[in-house]
Amino acid sequence: MTTNDSRTAVVVLGGGIGGQVAATVLAKKLGPMGRVVLVERLPQFVFAPSLLWLMTGDRQPEAITRGYAKLARRGVEVRHAGVTGIDPESSRVETTEGAIAFDYLVVALGAVAAPGMLPGLEEFAHHPYDLPHAERLRDTLAGFGGGRVVVAIASLPYRCPAAPYETALLIDGHLRRRGLRDRSSVTMYTPEPLPMPVAGPYIGHMVAAELARHDIRFHAKVQLERVEAGRLRFADGATAEFDLAVVIPPHRPAEVVAASPLAGPGGWVPVDRATLRTRHTNVYAIGDITAIPLENGMLLPKAGVFAHGEAEAVAGNIARRVRGDLREKPFDGHGLCFLEIGGGRAGLARGNFYASPVPQVTMYSPRRPWHAGKVAFEKYWLNRWL
Ligand SMILES: Cc1cc2nc3c(=O)[nH]c(=O)nc-3n(C[C@H](O)[C@H](O)[C@H](O)COP(=O)(O)OP(=O)(O)OC[C@H]3O[C@@H](n4cnc5c(N)ncnc54)[C@H](O)[C@@H]3O)c2cc1C
């Protein structure tokens, strides 16, 4: 930052879902009072929820990918650089393109899929958690002639509590569409006690029932140890043979955050759950990089809907502060999530994840309008923000 610039400098790290919303809202609310800098290492953003439709051949990569030009037009200074250091004490971040000083910092660097953390995943299994891997899985599925399909969750935490279940259900639908379901089996494995446990046992059982309706076998509380050629191997010594394996990869925090003074247990960032403030003044963290304990002892899921809501809250609160208004509007823990089940239908879960003593979440059973809602949400996202 130049020293003769009297504007308040707000730096947003990460141009994913949380970072885009935070930077856009900040630039709009601060106007000439603020200089909003967004640091993102990638030239293009991929809307991750649509990767599952890409996997089944229902989306093309260009339809779910955006550059950052719109953000720049909205007054955000976009810098494509890697963040290499965060120093809250001196109010500076280091990047591959130089240091940036800040008055306020919003860290939105996300969770990184780390398939290398599970032996054999890269060699013998697929996953749809980034564009290149989703494309590879799409091509493999397109050439798949039927057989034993396994969908396994490697470990917790992972992004989006619904996504692995949607993956299994969409693969089921894909196999039906191609007339291959009769000669195929689909089986799910997870270390969780039931699907989407954060939303409570009622919803978990609803999702399990949906899997059963689709003839998807479901095994809970199993810890995957490694993937071998044609075989999953679990920690208790059990094995499962497969012809096609989809394994939701382990996730880790962005390395630069894990190595910074912001990091708490496991490298994730502890924050005040209402304000998203870290233990450092004027430094906030939002989205997947945070660890927010809920009243039921679990963590707030890593989902775009929460990154979005947190970004709106933080951006509004910073903008008010810059204007001298210290009132804060809290992030209230509300969120919603569609569960795509294939065949043009989806369920919808929504509620208050901050409720006490447990999250209050309602699930609406699968219908065509919820699928239309998910498609509309995708359109809104890709047209509104980037
Ligand atoms: C297959 C799939 C399906 C999903 N479906 C849903 C869904 O239906 N609903 C939902 O709510 N959520 C869904 N999610 C989860 C959602 O995508 C994430 O929770 C959301 O993107 C989190 O936003 P974020 O801003 O915290 O992180 P991200 O969106 O991951 O953004 C982090 C950004 O930081 C950048 N970055 C990281 N390190 C550095 C560095 N050192 N220097 C510079 N830049 C860096 C990254 O390139 C990235 O752009 C899904 C995710 C996947 C993978």
Q: Which tens digits make up the pLDDT trace of 92-133?
A: 999 999 999 999 999 999 999 999 999 999 999 999 999 999
pLDDT above 60: residue 154: yes
Mean pLDDT of the chain: 96
3-class DSSP state of 6: coil
pLDDT digits (tens, 9 = 90+) for 244-273: 999 999 999 999 999 999 999 999 999 999
Distance 347 CA to ligand 1 centre (A): 22
Give ∠ CA 63-65-69 in degrees, rounded to 5.
120
Residue 309: per-residue pLDDT? 98
Q: At what angle do helices 163-177 and 201-213 cross, to 10 degrees?
A: 10
Which residue's CA is the closest to the ligand 1 atom numbered 15?
A: 303
Q: At what angle do helices 304-322 and 17-30 cross, to 10 degrees?
A: 20
- Assign residue 164 a region (left: φ > 0; alpha: ψ between -120 and 50; beta: otherwise): alpha
Please choose, from the candidates 350, 338, 351, 355, the residue with its C-alpha nearest in 3D space to the C-alpha of residue 50.
338
Q: What is the mean pLDDT of residues 190-206?
A: 95
Q: Which domains does the chain have, with CATH numbers?
A: 8-110+254-332 (3.50.50.60), 114-250 (3.50.50.60)
Among the atoms of ligand 1, which is closest to the Cα of residue 254?
Answer: 38
Ligand 1 contact via 254 beta carbon (within 6 Å): yes
Distance 34 CA to ligand 1 centre (A): 26
Distance 171 CA to ligand 1 centre (A): 23
pLDDT above 80: residue 4: no
Among the atoms of ligand 1, which is closest to the Cα of residue 47?
Answer: 17
pLDDT digits (tens, 9 = 90+) for 313-329: 999 999 999 999 999 99
pLDDT above 90: residue 282: yes
How many other C-beta atoms are found inside a 10 Å radius of the C-beta of residue 146? 16
Distance 325 CA to ligand 1 centre (A): 31
Q: What is the mean pLDDT of residues 220-247?
A: 98
229 CB-contact burial (10 Å; exposed 0-12 / middle 13-18 / buried 19+): exposed
User: pLDDT tier at 2 (50, 70, 90 boundaries)?
Assistant: very low
Among the atoms of ligand 1, which is closest to the Cα of residue 95?
Answer: 42
pLDDT digits (tens, 9 = 90+) for 33-68: 999 999 999 999 999 999 999 999 999 999 999 999
Ligand 1 contact via 256 beta carbon (within 6 Å): yes
Residue 5: per-residue pLDDT? 83
Distance 109 CA to ligand 1 centre (A): 8
pLDDT above 70: residue 3: no
pLDDT above 50: residue 1: no
pLDDT above 50: residue 287: yes
